[in-house]
Amino acid sequence: MTIYETIKNRLEVDTDFRERRFRKNGLCELVLEKHNKLGVMFVDSSFLITFAEDYETYRRIWTKVLRENKHLRGSDYDDGEALEQAVQMGMEYEVGFTQDKKLINKL
């Protein structure tokens, strides 16, 4: 089964996984299942590097699955941009910087 299929299946079965606030937990579970390391208390750095790479792959594909399957989106999906901006403001980032930069590049 591909990563896409794995994520899509989990989204179809687990409605909590559709919500952004539960995304990390669900993705970690999927990557851990892939590596079959659920009971391990100590892992070496090479495992953590591989885990992080796999996690990012799963996260990106999670986003793609939701983009392509609107019926699987959580209730907070459309709030994503506002939530991101709120976090950016809390971290004193310049909100909208990316959009401004894109506009400048077009000119």
- Tell me how far CA of residue 90 lies from CA of 52, 83, 84, 93, 100, in angstroms: 26, 11, 10, 8, 19
Q: Mean of the per-residue pLDDT values for the chain?
A: 80
pTM of the model: 0.54
Q: Residue 9 pLDDT more than 90?
A: yes
| Cα–Cα distance, 65 to 27 (Å, whole number) | 13
Confidence of residue 39 (pLDDT cuts 50, 70, 90): low
- Tell me how far CA of residue 10 lies from CA of 41, 45, 50, 56, 70, in angstroms: 26, 28, 22, 17, 15
Q: Residue 11 pLDDT more than 80?
A: yes
Contact yes or no for 8/69 (Cβ under 8 A) = yes
- When comparing pLDDT for 92 and 53, which is higher? 53
Per-residue pLDDT averaged across 20-49, rounded?
75
| Cα–Cα distance, 67 to 78 (Å, whole number) | 11
| Cα–Cα distance, 17 to 74 (Å, whole number) | 8
Q: Residue 24 pLDDT more than 90?
A: no
Q: Residue 97 pLDDT more than 70?
A: no
Question: pLDDT by residue (tens digit) across 46-67?
Answer: 787 788 889 999 999 998 998 8
Q: Per the structure block, which two tokens stand in for 63?
A: 């986003």
Q: Per the structure block, which two tokens stand in for 102?
A: 């894109």
- When comparing pLDDT for 86 and 99, which is higher? 86
If you ran DSSP here, which 8-state letter would residue 18 be given? Answer: G
